[in-house]
Amino acid sequence: AQTVTQSQPEMSVQEAETVTLSCTYDTSESDYYLFWYKQPPSRQMILVIRQEAYKQQNATENRFSVNFQKAAKSFSLKISDSQLGDAAMYFCAYSDYGGSQGNLIFGKGTKLSVKP
Amino acid sequence: SAVISQKPSRDICQRGTSLTIQCQVDSQVTMMFWYRQQPGQSLTLIATANQGSEATYESGFVIDKFPISRPNLTFSTLTVSNMSPEDSSIYLCSVEVLRTGAEAFFGQGTRLTVV
């Protein structure tokens, strides 16, 4: 069975600085998706960034980028120029490619605090 | 993308009662999913709701406790039956929009407190 592990329950960053959130996963599949979701206090889960496993290039979305290491099964999220609005729970998630793609497997989450 | 309306947003219920949570999507989707997020925890899939067939439940979740309806391609309900304090959680529905490549869209969640 696939698993997703986030080893940092909490992280803190100074406003305008850079922070990296870690995620490792385990799967026997070769094709899959990886995601980072953000959950602010409003509870709305928001997709931050998505990576297809077959793509070697790391995904980037404005201030958010990932370091995808397929062989190491590692998928970290880097937030540059951190803003107060980035404070939230961040969940790393995995989905098989094909089949029930909406069936996401989530990590336990990392609570990010941003200090002014 | 998809816009999902979930209600109620929160409720406080007496133990032994039932609560039905509604999830409305602004477009037709094949698959809808119900998750539970216990306090301070991650999301756990309860069941997958397909239109025209019975929901598929994950290990640890049963239909008698969490009956699900999916009458059409834009709507689903989850009922939490015979509630106990252990059912206090956030319940979220999500949908899959294939055209966007496996991205799941989520409702705002329902915060349930059982007293």
Q: What is the pLDDT of residues B3-12, one digit of tens each?
A: 899 999 999 9
Q: How high is the pLDDT of residue B101?
A: 54
C-alpha distances (whole Å) from A12 to each of A9, A43, A58, A83 are: 11, 20, 24, 12
The residue assigned the tokens 């404005």 is A62
Overall average pLDDT of the A99-111 stretch: 78
pLDDT in tens, A25-55: 999 988 888 999 999 988 888 999 999 998 8
pLDDT at A56: 86
Interface of B with A (CB under 8 A): 31, 33, 41-43, 45, 48, 90, 92, 94-96, 98, 101-106, 108-109, 111
> Per the CB < 8 Å rule, is A104 touching B42?
no
Are the beta carbons of A33 and B108 separated by less than 8 Å? no
pLDDT, position B39: 86
The whole-number pLDDT of residue A48 equals 94
Q: What's residue A104's pLDDT?
A: 84
Q: Do the chains contact at B106 and A45, CB–CB below 8 Å?
A: yes
Q: How large is the average pLDDT for residues A98-106?
A: 67
CB-CB under 8 Å, A100 with B42 = no
Q: Which residues are A28's β-sheet partners?
A: none
Q: Is the pLDDT of residue A74 over 80?
A: yes
Between CA B115 and CA B36, with CA B85 as vertex, the angle to 5 degrees is: 120
Q: Is the pLDDT of residue B99 over 70?
A: no
Give the rounded percent of residues in chain A with a pLDDT score beyond 90.
75
Asked whether residue B102 carries a pLDDT value surpassing 90, the answer given is no
The full DSSP string for A65-95 is: EEEEETTTTEEEEEE-S--GGG-EEEEEEEE
State the pLDDT at residue A98.
61
Query: Which of A45, A48, A54, A89 should we substitute to test contact with B (largest number of B Cβ atoms within 10 Å)?
Result: A45
Name the residue among A42, A47, A109 with its Cβ closest to that of B103: A47
Query: Residue A100 pLDDT > 80, yes or no?
Result: no
3 state DSSP class of A31: coil
CB neighbour class for B57 (10 Å; exposed up to 12, middle 13-18, buried from 19): middle
Per-residue buried b or exposed e for A66-103, using 16+ beta carbons within 10 Å of the residue's own CB: bbbeeeebebbbbbeebeeebbbbbbbbbbbeeebbbb
Give me B74's structure tokens.
Answer: 């834009």
Per-residue pLDDT at A99? 52
Confidence class of residue A81 from pLDDT cuts 50, 70 and 90? very high
Measure A29 CA to nearest chain B CA, in Å: 16
Q: Is the pLDDT of residue B16 over 80?
A: yes
Examine residue B85 and say whether the peptide bond preceding it is cis (omega within 30 degrees of 0): no
Chain B contacts of A97, Cβ < 8 Å? Answer: 102
pLDDT digits (tens, 9 = 90+) for B47-86: 999 887 889 999 999 999 999 999 999 999 999 999 999 9
